[in-house]
Amino acid sequence: MSRGIGDRCLRVKTATIGGRNRRYRVTVPEILEVETYRKQAEKLLGRRVADVIADDDLYLKGSTNPETLCRALVGRRVAAVRRRGKLLLLDFEDPPATSGVAIRASESNGEDSSPVEAHSQTESEGVTLGIHFGMTGRLVVDGDVSIDRLLYTSGEHRPEYARFALLFEGGGELVVSDPRRLGRVELDPDESVLGPDAMELTREELVEALDDSRAALKSRLLDQSRIAGLGNLLVDDILWRAGLDPHRHAGSLEPGEIDRLLAAIRDSLDELGERGGSHTSELHAERHQGGHCPLDGAELRRDVIGGRTTYWCPLHQH
């Protein structure tokens, strides 16, 4: 007797989470951390999905549900691992034509109906899985974690933190561990809603993102529809490097200031990426009451801009 969707989707608590290959700790998943996840996930290339673990409905975004995930992914191979901003993307290629499995609609909704083919196993085009990590999500591949600990969470890897997983033929797994359930998983996410990736940002794209706006400069840089990937820690570091006041209207920058801002974006991503993450800047160590600017020693100001805690230097940021 063949198994239905509910049988193939195993319980999330059965996934294992190990603790090997830890690279760095204490951060949040901004673009640099998700790039680390992307590199980690590349070891999955070519593997075929055997089971999908997705029984936490709150972790599934939009119309994605356990049944559609199983239909879309079981039997497919991982063809590419990509990233757009803070969104991790896994592309799955077509499964072999012989792997099509007819699944009755009654298995998912309890009503007798004619057989319907499993989505992923009969359609001619591939599918994409998008993973949003929120503030506390970590990627675990084959029991290994590349980031030991995130801000706002402990370093524990409890089975109950596993919100989603893919199990692969021949062994191995991908697990999203998220204690606070702030991330999301989605089939075929709309990538068009995201702006250009911060790691590949051009001057022309930056000018378009600023767009003569009267919004606060920091808020504009955090807008993922304008520039994808920059988070709170990185934007504070970038504006500190560029010497720009985070309160300024985004559209008020002069050409030379735009050049400085673009250089600061590139320098921050390059240098902090090499050091190990968004939390490794000189400014980050001073993000506390009474903290001082590492550049000129002035006491940092702590403001809230666009709902986000902001540390900046009133002496050299104008």
Q: What percent of the chain has pLDDT over 70?
A: 79
| 314, 291 contact by CB (below 8 A) | no
pLDDT in tens, 219-258: 999 999 999 999 999 999 999 999 999 999 999 999 999 9
Amino acid identity of 189? P
pLDDT class for 159, splitting at 50, 70, 90? confident
Q: Is the pLDDT of residue 141 over 70?
A: yes
Q: Answer whether 116's CB lies under 8 Å from 146's CB.
A: no
Please, which residues have CB within 8 angstroms of residue 20's CB and are 6 or more apart in sequence? 143, 144, 145
pLDDT one-digit tens code per residue, 161-176:
899 999 999 999 999 9
Nearest to 150 by CA among 7, 54, 30, 299: 30
Q: Could you tell me the pTM of the whole model?
A: 0.82
40-99 pLDDT per residue, tens: 999 999 999 999 999 888 899 988 999 999 999 999 999 999 999 999 999 999 775 544
Q: What is the pLDDT of residue 161?
A: 85
Among the residues of the chain, which ranges form H helices?
5-8, 31-41, 66-73, 106-109, 119-122, 203-210, 217-222, 232-242, 255-275
**Cβ atoms 176, 163 nearer than 8 A:** yes
Length of the chain: 318
In this prediction, what percent of the chain has a pLDDT beyond 90? 66
Mean pLDDT within 136-152: 78
Q: In order of start, what are the domains of the chain with their CATH numbers? A: 5-192 (3.20.190.10), 196-312 (1.10.8.50)
**pLDDT value at 38 more than 50:** yes
The arithmetic mean of pLDDT across residues 102-122, rounded, is 34
d(CA 166, CA 90): 11
Find the Cα–Cα–Cα–Cα dihedral 148, 153, 155, 159, rounded to 10°.
-110
Cα–Cα distance, 255 to 133 (Å, whole number): 35
pLDDT at res. 147: 72
pLDDT at position 135 is 84
User: Which residues face 78 on adjacent strands?
Assistant: 92
Q: Are 131 and 177 in contact (CB under 8 A)?
A: no
pLDDT confidence band for 28 (50 / 70 / 90):
low
Question: Can you tell me the distance from the alpha carbon of 312 to that of 298, in angstroms, rounded to the nearest whole number?
Answer: 10
